[in-house]
């Protein structure tokens, strides 16, 4: 397997497909790099090198009892980029992965990055506070913790429905996609996934977003039941200079599957345009 070793001894698994300008993908919770396969196959066929990795504690990466926080996730991404000697890259993050690449820029800058795409991203802050009244109350995340702790397997089976909008009357998402969500979730470590809930829900990325000095595309579904658009995309685009916002009408949180053709087309167009 393709593995890089971080400074604290954690193995980070990655897949590396295609040749050309490099696109690095960061996945959502509780998924793995496999969540990006449809985008990777498409972009690789269109002349791009596509790299996706499993966050520490998820998928095929190590499951350490330390470092399950956004700063360390960002440093793991930096280690991957440096080990593979990547430059002039595009960073594409979904949900928690959007926070991860945002914190990477906050901590490591834009020197190696030429463009960014945030999809259903948790940025700038999911938690409801006095300063972010459109966020979700802490009870929502406490319920997630309780569900994962009590019966992780059943919780992920249940979560797949609102994740892909399968609970909507006109839903067409297959049972197979929902089962793949469950399978990816069960590959991670329970401790790591529990600690990641705090990382994606309570980390404030506002200052990180202000450091974006590169073309940025923000994509969000207006029927996202996991990361509400008001607290995320609409707020993030007020902090990122010259960000482009694309809203998918009726779009769920799982856009990589439910809107894969539209998303693939938008990604390719943005990569081509921003490369000019």
Bridge partner residues of 115 (DSSP): 90
How does DSSP assign 22-71, residue by residue? EEEEEPPTT--GGGGHHHHHHHHHTT-EEEEEPPTTSTTS---SS--SHH
**The residue to which tokens 């990006």 are assigned:** 36
Q: Are 56 and 76 in contact (CB under 8 A)?
A: yes
Q: Burial level of 110, CB count in 10 A (0-12/13-18/19+)?
A: middle
Q: Are 267 and 50 in contact (CB under 8 A)?
A: no
Which residues are known catalytic residues? 95, 224, 253
Bin 147: left if φ > 0, else alpha if -120 < ψ < 50, else beta.
alpha
Tell whether the torsion through CA atoms of 82, 36, 259 and 166 is positive or negative.
Answer: negative
For residues 232 and 242, give the distance between their C-alpha atoms in angstroms, rounded to a whole number: 16
Burial track 165-204 (b if 16+ CB lie within 10 A, e otherwise): bbeeeeeebeeebbebbbebbebbbeebbbbbbebbbebb
Dist. CA 49–CA 60, nearest whole Å: 21
Whether 52 and 90 have beta carbons less than 8 Å apart is answered as no
Q: Copy the structure tokens of residue 269.
A: 């167009």
């Amino acid at each position: 397997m393709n593995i890089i070793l971080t400074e604290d001894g954690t193995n980070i698994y990655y897949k590396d497909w295609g040749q050309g300008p490099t696109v690095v993908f960061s996945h959502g919770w509780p998924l793995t790099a496999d969540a990006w396969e449809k985008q990777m196959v498409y972009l690789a066929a269109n002349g791009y090198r596509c790299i996706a990795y499993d966050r520490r504690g998820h998928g095929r990466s190590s499951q350490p009892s330390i470092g399950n926080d956004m700063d360390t996730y960002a440093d793991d991404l930096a280690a991957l980029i440096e080990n593979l000697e990547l430059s002039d890259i595009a960073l594409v993050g979904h949900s928690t992965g959007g926070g991860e690449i945002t914190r990477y820029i906050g901590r490591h800058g834009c020197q190696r990055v030429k463009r960014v795409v945030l999809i259903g991203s948790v940025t700038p802050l999911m938690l409801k506070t006095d300063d972010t009244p459109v966020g979700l109350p802490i009870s929502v995340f406490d319920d997630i913790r309780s569900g994962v702790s009590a019966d992780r397997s059943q919780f992920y089976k249940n979560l797949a429905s609102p994740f892909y909008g399968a609970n909507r009357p006109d839903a067409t998402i297959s049972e197979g996609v929902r089962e793949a969500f469950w399978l990816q979730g069960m590959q991670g470590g329970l401790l790591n996934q529990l600690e990641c809930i705090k990382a994606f829900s309570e980390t404030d990325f506002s200052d990180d977003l202000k450091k974006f000095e590169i073309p940025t595309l923000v994509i969000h579904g207006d029927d996202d039941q996991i990361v509400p658009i008001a607290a995320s995309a609409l707020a993030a685009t007020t902090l990122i200079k010259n960000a482009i916002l694309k809203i998918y009408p009726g779009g769920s949180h799982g856009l990589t599957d439910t809107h894969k053709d539209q998303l693939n087309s938008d990604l390719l167009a943005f990569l081509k345009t921003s490369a000019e």
